[in-house]
Amino acid sequence: MGLTYNTYLNSDKIYGCKNCKAHLANAHEIISRNFRGQHGKAYLFNTVVNVEAGAPSERNMTTGRHVVRDIQCRQCKDVVGWKYDRAYESSEKYKEGKFILEAELLCNVN
């Protein structure tokens, strides 16, 4: 697919892929820390970089039914979280188009 370089963020606190340290998101742009994933704590972000989204699937989550896609690190292909495509409950609509990164799969890059 051609030569591409990773995107790099500018911040003093950046979360990166635990495996390959590719930049994923700016820690200061967390929208909410009130999420839980399969591996524990998870954070909601508006934008993440260097990820590829997989196929959409419907899942029942604690907050209701959603259509989500797993996102994986572009470089090492490890799953790092998921992205909300659709939320069936109106109170959960705010999540649509946003990303969840699981804290367990992240590391801090300076």
Partner 1 sequence: MRSDYLDNDPGSSSNNSRAAWASASNGSSSSNNRQTRIKPENGNNEDMYGSSSSEVHLRGGAPAPDYFGHSREEITRILIQALDDLGYDSAAQLIAQQSGLEVESPDVAAFRAAVLQGKWDTAEKVLWGGPQGQGQGLVLAPGADRNAMRFRLRQQKFLELLERGEKAKALGVLRVELTPLCVDQQHVLSSLSRYLMCQDGEDLRSKAGWDGAGGLSRRVLLSQLAECISPSVMLPEKRLAVLLDNVKAAQMEKCIYHTTDVSPSLYSDHMCERSQFPTEVMLELDRQQGEVWQVRFSPSGERLATCGSAKGVCIWDTRTFNLVRMLNGHDTEVSNIAWSPDDSMLVSCSMDGYAKVWNAQTGELEKQLDKFQEPVSSCVWLPDGSGFITGSLDKPKSLCEWDLEGNCVYTWTKRHRTEDLALSADGNWLVAMDDQCKLHIYNVPRREKEWEVNLRSRLTSVSVSKDSRYILVNTVDDEARLYDIEAREMVQKYKGHSGGKVIIRAGFGGASENFVISGSEDGHVYIWHKTTGTLVHKGEAHNPRVNSVSWNPRDSGMFATCGDEGRVKM
In degrees and rounded to multiples of 5, residue 77 shows phi and psi of: 65, 15
Tell me the closest approach of the beta carbon of residue 48 to partner 1, in angstroms. 16
Task: Compute the residue count for the chain.
Answer: 110
Tell me the closest approach of the beta carbon of residue 8 to partner 1, in angstroms. 6
| Shorter beta-carbon distance to partner 1: residue 53 or 61 | 53
| Shorter beta-carbon distance to partner 1: residue 1 or 55 | 1
Q: Give yes or no for a contact between 27 and 16, defined as CB atoms under 8 angstroms apart.
A: no
d(CA 9, CA 109): 10
97 is written with which tokens?
């188009």
| Shorter beta-carbon distance to partner 1: residue 10 or 60 | 10
| Shorter beta-carbon distance to partner 1: residue 4 or 34 | 4
The contact set with partner 1 (CB under 8 A) reads 1-8, 10
Tell me the closest approach of the beta carbon of residue 46 to partner 1, in angstroms. 19
d(CA 72, CA 93): 23
d(CA 108, CA 97): 24
Tell me the closest approach of the beta carbon of residue 4 to partner 1, in angstroms. 5
